[in-house]
Each structure stands twice: as C-alpha cells, then as structure tokens.
Amino acid sequence: MYSLKKTTEKLLGELLIERKVISKKDCDKALDIQRERGGLIGEILVELGLVKEENIAQAVTAQYGFPYLPLANYEIGPEIVKIIPENVCAQYCLIPIDKIGGNLTIAMSNPLNQEAVEDIEELTKCTVQIFVATTTDIRNAIAKYYKNK
C-alpha cells in the first residue's frame, strides 16, 4: 500500500518563497487562481511564468523526500520501457526507469498521485519506487522511448 509522509510541514508555496524562487505576492496570485479554477499550485506558477518546472520538482523533493531525476541525459533500456504501456505512461505522466527483482523505479511529475502508483503496482506486480522529474522531461522521454513501439 502506497503512503506518503511529508519530510516538512511547509507548503509548496512556502518552500518556494523560502528558497527565494518566488515572492509572497507571486504565491498569493497563484493561490487566488487556484481558488478560482482549481489545479495544482506548482502548475499554476509554471503557467504564469513565475517558476521553472525544475523549481517545482526540486521543491516537491524537499517537501516529501523523493529524489529528483533530470531525464535529459538518462538512458532507459528497451526492456524497461516494455514494462508499462505508453498510454499508461502518458495518462499518469510517468516513465519506468529501472527494474531490479520485484522493485520498479519510475520517474513521475506528480509523486502525490496515489492512484497512479497503485495502478502501476497492480499492473506490474512490482513494488514502485519513485523519482521526481519534470512534466516536460517525462513527455520527451515518452516520445523518445515509445516512438518505435
């Protein structure tokens, strides 16, 4: 069973302010938009052009203790890619990275998506270990590794 434990009680916005990535005013603006239309605060900050995806990924790693993995220079073996179908990877914005025994390592943009992790565990019959990567990195990896499938 997948369970999350924060390594800090600070909210994402607070971490970004503390790291001087955004101002309190920027955070308040994004929170207003979130209250209006919903969505994830990190995605709203990226849409507004106030932060880079990497800033959000690194803050989430600090918040929950997931390791951050930039995928641009990472090679994924063809046997690993076959473990999870492309449509599932695209649906949950994740990609398999490695498998050792019954442990499957995945990179995902939203490691808080408990449903995605449980579905991957059910699909693969593996215990999932999570790395955080940016949405762009994962989409690029999916395009690269699944293009000939």
pLDDT in tens, 7-26: 667 788 988 999 899 999 99
Residue 1 lies in a domain: no
pLDDT at 35: 94
Decide which of 114 and 63 is more confident: 114
Reduced to 3 states (helix: H, G, I; strand: E, B; else coil), residue 106 is: strand
Among 41, 64, 87, residue at a domain's last position: 64
Contact in structure between 84 and 116 (CB atoms under 8 Å): no
What pTM value is reported for the model?
0.78
Is the predicted pLDDT of residue 39 greater than 70, yes or no? yes
The confidence score (pLDDT) of residue 1 equals 45
For residues 35 and 30, give the distance between their C-alpha atoms in angstroms, rounded to a whole number: 9
User: Range of 132's domain?
Assistant: 78-146
Same domain, 56 and 84: no
Residue at 70 is within a domain: no
N- to C-terminal Cα separation, the chain: 31
Quote the percentage of the chain above a pLDDT of 90: 66
Q: What is the pLDDT of residue 12?
A: 86
DSSP state of 93: T
Does residue 53 share a domain with residue 88? no
Same-domain pairing of 22 and 82: no
Residues whose CB is less than 8 angstroms from the CB of residue 85 and which lie 6 or more positions away in sequence, other chains included: none
Average per-residue pLDDT in the chain?
A: 89
| Residue 95 tokens, joined | 């990609």
Q: How many separate domains does the chain show?
A: 2
In a domain, 139, yes or no: yes
Per residue in 48-64, pLDDT (tens digit) is 999 999 898 888 888 88
Instruction: Determine, yes or no, domain membership for 16.
Output: yes
Q: Are residues 60 and 82 in the same domain?
A: no
What does the DSSP 8-state code read for residue 109?
A: S
Q: Which residue has the tokens 């990179």?
A: 107
Question: What is the percent of the chain with per-residue pLDDT over 70, rounded to a whole number?
Answer: 93
Same domain, 91 and 138: yes
Q: Please check whether residue 4 lies inside any domain of the structure.
A: no
